[in-house]
Amino acid sequence: MKPVIETLFHEAESRYLKPEATAEVSQYMTSLKERTGLYRTLRDQEIAWMQPIADELEQAFPAEQVTRLENSLRHAMLSLRHCAMAMLMDDPTYLDLRFLGWFKESMEIHGTLEIDSHLHTAIRRQLSTSLNTQQFRILTPFLDRVKAQFEVQAEVNDEALLTVAGLF
């Protein structure tokens, strides 16, 4: 659940909610039906959307070990599932706490930044054409948080390469 809403519910134990707080609860509840529908769509269409992406991945990285590609594909699916859950709860911190830290470490350990970044771009492309504009708009902030992780990781890798090259 959205942390602000959760806090409001806890505050309501000792007093009635202020008008702005009830408006926020109302907005959250109004958007719940739409977010639930989007979550179901993501869940129900995941395999259909991911299969062409998996095929594209094999073509984009023909020399890569199949096990590394499969591992990255599993991580991409986990990424989408965590984005879906964070979107359903309207809670960006859920994504941060439950997925992004682990995902960052996985990319570092396995050295899959390029593959994972390619997958994320392919997923965004697939979703932008498969979802309606409103659905994609609702999901985008969560996809953007994952994308930001790639950008941070790429900067870290660039700095490491410059250090190894003796430029710093």
Does residue 162 have a pLDDT over 60?
A: no
Counting the structural domains of the chain, the total is 1
Full domain range(s) for residue 94: 3-164
* Residues 72-101: tens digit of each pLDDT: 999 999 999 999 999 999 888 999 999 998
CATH number at residue 37: 1.10.490.20
Integer angstrom CA distances of residue 159 from 52, 116, 148, 155, 156: 34, 19, 17, 6, 5
Q: Could you give the percent of the chain with pLDDT greater than 70? A: 88
pLDDT bin (cut points 50, 70, 90) of residue 146 is very high
pTM above 0.85, yes or no: no
